[in-house]
Amino acid sequence: MKIRDNLINFLSKIPENVQLVAVSKTKPVEAVKEAYDAGQLVFGENKVQDLVEKVPKLPADIQWHFIGHMQTNKVKFIAPFVSLIHAVDSMKLLKEINKQATKNNRTINCLLQFHIAEESTKFGLSIQEATDILNSSEFMDMKNVHISGVMGMATYTNNTEQIRQEFAQLKTHFNTLKTNYFSSDDHFREISMGMSGDYKIAIEEGSTMIRIGTSIFGSRY
């Protein structure tokens, strides 16, 4: 019952317009099922192998988000079912997603991941790299991907002012792209930012989608 309680408690704390992605990485299917039975339909995983193993064992109406760093050669394994890919950080990857989406006769929703943290280990685009992608004729020819918004991860730090500034920067990138490329596209509306440790700041800075693992499923070992 603990996961159910955590989930209900968590949902009561966040505004209705913020979508909760329950990050079930490293957790067993039983844990996912418990959250599902409590009403959660959107789950996030960060490893392709784990995701493809879980999917057939769980209800078909779950919406699976891929939140991790995506390797191009693995897109084909999740293309048939994935609901949203959070961390698109290169043209090469976007091209492959479009190719595999086309093969599966569907459109795949994607977020552009921005590098907002000070750590160099975190992946993501600069605003220049993102606009290069969006300006390219290759991108304009892609019929089977939909850019639904942006995603980012703040620095792992106790400095809340720094975290706030990084989230604010992501929001600024979102606004820039919205104005210049997606002003008439209602699907471009998501800002995926905020995890268990920093979701409150993320929501204050305009997050529409938070990715929460530990606060729902407990710590990972």
Q: How far apart are the C-alpha atoms of 80 and 123, rounded to whole Å?
A: 25
Nearer to ligand PLP, 136 or 214 (CB): 214
CA-nearest of 22, 88, 77, 87 to 55 is: 77
Bridge partners, residue 125, by sequence:
114
Does 18 bind ligand PLP (CB under 6 A)? Our answer is no
CA distances (Å), 201 to each of 21, 54, 106, 198, in order? 17, 31, 35, 6
Single out the segment in contact with ligand PLP by CB under 6 A; choices: 29-37, 52-60, 125-133, 195-203.
195-203
Bridge partners, residue 64, by sequence:
43
Nearer to ligand PLP, 65 or 95 (CB): 65
At its nearest, how many Å lie between ligand PLP and the CB of residue 186?
25
At its nearest, how many Å lie between ligand PLP and the CB of residue 95?
22
Single out the segment in contact with ligand PLP by CB under 6 A; choices: 7-15, 58-66, 165-173, 191-199.
191-199
Does 117 bind ligand PLP (CB under 6 A)? Our answer is no
Going 57 to 63 to 68 to 70, the CA torsion angle's sign is positive
Does 90 bind ligand PLP (CB under 6 A)? Our answer is no
Q: How far apart are the C-alpha atoms of 3 and 87, rounded to whole Å?
A: 26
Please report, as residue ranges, which positions from 52 to 81 form the binding site for ligand PLP (by CB under 6 A).
67-68
Which ranges constitute the DSSP H helices of 84-124?
91-103
Residue from 23, 117, 145, 170 binding ligand PLP (CB under 6 A): 23
Per-residue binding letters, 137-176, with ligand PLP (x by CB under 6 A): ----------------x-----------------------
Burial code (b: 16+ CB inside 10 Å, e: under 16) for 114-126 equals bbbbeeeebbbbe
| Binding residue count for ligand PLP, defined by CB under 6 A | 14
List contacts with ligand PLP (CB under 6 A). Answer: 23, 25, 46, 67-68, 153, 195-197, 211-215
